Structure 1
Amino acid sequence: MKFETIGKSKQFYDFLKNEILSDDYKPGDKFPSIRELSSKYGISVITVNSVISNLVTEGLLHVVQGKGTFVSEKKNSAKNKKIIGVILFDFSLENNIEATMFNSIQGNLKDNYYVIPYNSYDKLDLFYKGIKGFSELGVDGMILTPPSTEDYDADTVKSLITRDIPVVFINRRVPGIKADFLEMDFDDCVYKAMKHLLDKNKRSIAMVKSNSNTISEAMVRGYKRALNKGGISFDDKFIIEWNENFGKVEKALEGLIGKIDGLVASDYFIYRLRRIIYASGKKVPSDLSIVGINDTAYSRFMNPPLTVLPFTAKQIGEEAIKLIIGKLENKITGEISRSFKTELIIREST
């Protein structure tokens, strides 16, 4: 068994936990020593010791002084638990969205369920690897956030999900796969951002699109809808493309900054574009009003604080795990698709 460098401790913990819950071990069986495990799997003694300590704390193992580590009686009750695999793509401190969503998933678990998280870092190969790993582990359901670039192959994803289990996709669908789908309503989100700026008498409003086609299309719909209701013609020069080249985004905003009085973008983009905003000499919000989307930690770093439309992470996490459990308990049938609307939080940037 090979463990990746990133997240090795968590991978090894999940592996050992699965071993304990397998039929190879019975309550009272002696478990390999820390040095034996370190030698067998090429994991440092420090990491193995930490993982074993966690398994002891969880009650799956117990230590008998002078004799070693043994499988606990709790193994029998834990073995009957349902396992839900969760793939998110950014557990960084700055992006509290994923952490909020995962906490919501955990907070709505029933006693006979537990979840295993996996961070894909928004990389396609790691997304595939996560699904494959969950399938090999025999999870009972999956909650998946596909990569934002949407360059995944549906047949590959389908081949990796080897059992008929409930699956929930978040924000992006994978075509041809039987699954539920949950998303934030980015059409409504951008419409609310635009309406707020239009109500502030802003008329030349730029927007930075997402690198996700699905989300970008919804954002543009909301943008156009608000302009149409305000009696303003759509001009695509105010739409800034994001295609993994941030230099182009910066260049586009530099070319527009003198012509706009409003800006809508993710708070991450706004944070990275702050140099251009400050260098323009425009005062926020009198000369340039700004609305951020997501409300991650980046919005707290801005001066003045950003008016935002928070990502509906808590609601989506709660609904996702309820759908999985409902399907496993045969209380929910059919494919479910739901959008969640967010509400504006007004701060000093508008």
Structure 2
Amino acid sequence: MGTYTFRAGAIGGSLPTSFINDIAEAHFSQTLHPAEDDTPIQELPDEEYPEVDDAPADYVEEVDPEVVETEDSAKAVPVAQLPDSANQDIVGTSPDGSAQAIVNLPSGTASPAELSSTGLVVYPNTQTDADTVAVRTGTNAIEIFHLLRSASAPRSFTYRPALRPGEEITVGTDNTMMISNPQGDVTTFVTAPLALDARGNSIPVSMTLSGNGIVVSLAPANGQAVSYPVLLDPGYGYGSITSAERNYCFWNPYDCSVAWDRANTAFKKAQDLYPDRTLFQGTGDAFRHCYWNALMEIRLSTKDAYEIATRHESTSRGNDKEMDLRNNSIGRQIGRANTGKSSAGIRSRDACKNGTSRGKLWIIKSGKLVRSNA
């Protein structure tokens, strides 16, 4: 057992993982375990989705060298790996294993990772009255949290990416940073979206660059009271995007980080609903693009959704590109129709699923672009 003290809502000292887990779950369960999209698919009234041109007036198409997608590459995703102990690194590996991004966890006690009874990965007592907690939100996405149990806990944590020759960190807007490889392609997003205290109040978070260290800090407003424990949430996602996407994300990093998260959501749901063989040019692929664009349309602007989705196809050609662009457009229409409604994401999911089975989306069959119920 650890030794610990209680004082005015704060808990100090060295704690066992089971106790840390209880504290985290008691105060921050909804943040640590976002609700899964597991509601049944609903049959909706039949809808038509006429072809519309929703391209922004200032959109300029960029075409990158062609990359031929295969069934294997369509199903492959980057992988982010949690370390075995708190003095090791988060490692992200590209689908083909050719590239890696490494981010060091903030300095602290070399606590071994322990899986809690509720599925949290806990690195106990990494700093004074503080613990590191991790949750995997996708194959290529990891949420790292710092559980600050008292005012004696540190308020700043420094992440040190192990940059290889030619890699650089770019500071973006809205507490976002990007790590780019020597070719200029973004490989990693780091975001500092929130901190919550024991009363459920949001506490502002700052993220600054100090040399090659990314410093994430609590930044409460002047006079703002902080009730402990506090959960500090810097996010880490690893992947790969086209050069055309990178050019947009350089100026819109927060929007791209949201789009990346929504892409993961859509891909996972497509895997749940459709056989693997359909994730390349089939119904699963059509649904994924539709649902991804609907989710972006709900969360971002039409301009952002269009720019990111269309630039994502800058390396595609022929029917493969045409299929994705058409399904993207239909997805944005569905997102616009549901924006502002309750359960907009679920409504959009159902509309994309219904649209797929009713032939409203597009797939490729025998090399030809055909309706999704063909």
The structure carrying a bigger strand percent of its residues is: 2
Fold-level similarity (TM above 0.5): no
> Normalising by the residue count of structure 1, what TM-score does the alignment of the two structures yield?
0.28
Query: Which structure shows the bigger proportion of residues in helix conformation?
Result: 1
Is the radius of gyration larger for structure 1 or structure 2? 1
